[in-house]
């Protein structure tokens, strides 16, 4: 019996070590993969809805490579460009959107390095962040604290703040078992983000629920050549719930 127990324990430990080695190797591959020509991204500063009359809606986007438009063919085709275009059409109002996104940014870096760049008099701050907190294994309590500080700081600078969550992160670049591990971790990150947003009365967009179904249905065309970041089509799909949420919130003010 003692030999059986020891053998079982050794097998479990061996499997855990093997799994850890596989995951570590896959994480290293994901981090050192070939980069796109558009990485680190665009300086997103776009105007949309010039045919409409009325006051220009001033929008700032903060976040990671998605906000920087990595994988898009142009700033206009980036997430920010397409969000601006869709908001303008929904509100029938001109929109000026500036993105401060940095490829690879985690929540604490958005707080420390991007928020202070936001000028006064902004109507909307839209934050899209969290996926790098998943892949960089940011502690969940740390993430929650940083998210609260970020959203509170944004509320001091804009009339409206909206938070979009970490992605589902079921990208084909992640092989199993890493894909399942990353997806499970992303769920926990989104739930912490949802909790903070709810506490601060900040509109929250669950990317896994609001984006992933249409994004996955459009695959592989929704992904860029690195199989991780969105393509122009992917960003158009991603922009839909972000723009709709911002438009509804602006109309309800």
Q: Length of the chain, please?
A: 253
How much is the pTM? 0.85
Q: Using CA atoms, how far apart are residues 17 and 99, in angstroms rounded to an integer?
A: 42
The angle formed by the CA atoms of residues 132, 67 and 201, to the nearest 5 degrees, is 80
pLDDT digits (tens, 9 = 90+) for 108-165: 999 999 999 999 889 999 999 999 999 999 999 999 999 999 999 999 999 999 999 9
User: Any idea where the domains of the chain sit in the sequence?
Assistant: 1-32, 37-252
Q: Which residues of 28-51 are buried (b: 16+ CB within 10 A; e: fewer)?
A: eebeeeeebebbebbebebebbee
Using alpha carbons, select from 165, 149, 157 the residue that is nearest to residue 58: 157
Which CATH fold topology does 37-252 show?
Rossmann fold (3.40.50)
Cα-based distances in Å from 160 to 167, 208, 253: 22, 23, 9
- The confidence band for 24, taking pLDDT boundaries of 50, 70 and 90, is very low
Does residue 77 have a pLDDT over 80?
yes
What pLDDT was estimated at residue 175?
A: 66
């Amino acid at each position: 019996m003692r030999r059986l127990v020891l053998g079982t324990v050794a097998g479990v430990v061996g499997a855990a070590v093997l799994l850890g080695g596989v995951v570590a190797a896959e994480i290293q591959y994901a981090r050192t993969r070939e980069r796109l020509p558009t990485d680190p991204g665009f300086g997103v500063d776009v105007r949309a809805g010039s045919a409409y009359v009325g006051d220009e809606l001033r929008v700032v986007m903060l976040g990671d490579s998605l906000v920087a438009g990595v994988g898009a063919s142009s700033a206009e085709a980036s997430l920010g460009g397409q969000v601006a275009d869709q908001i303008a059409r929904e509100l029938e109002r001109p929109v000026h959107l500036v993105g401060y996104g940095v490829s690879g940014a985690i929540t604490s870096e958005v707080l420390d390095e991007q928020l202070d760049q936001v000028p006064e008099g902004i109507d909307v701050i839209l934050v899209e962040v969290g996926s790098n907190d998943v892949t960089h294994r940011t502690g969940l309590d740390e993430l929650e604290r940083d998210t609260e500080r970020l959203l509170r700081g944004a509320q001091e600078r804009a009339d409206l703040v909206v938070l979009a969550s970490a992605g589902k992160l079921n990208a084909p670049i992640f092989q199993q078992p890493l894909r399942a591990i990353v997806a499970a971790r992303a769920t926990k990150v989104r739930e912490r983000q949802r909790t903070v947003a709810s506490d601060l009365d900040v509109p929250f967009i669950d990317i896994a629920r609001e984006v992933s179904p249409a994004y996955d249905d459009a695959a592989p065309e929704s992904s860029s050549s690195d199989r991780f970041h969105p393509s122009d089509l992917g960003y158009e799909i991603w922009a839909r719930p972000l723009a709709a949420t911002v438009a509804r919130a602006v109309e309800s003010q």
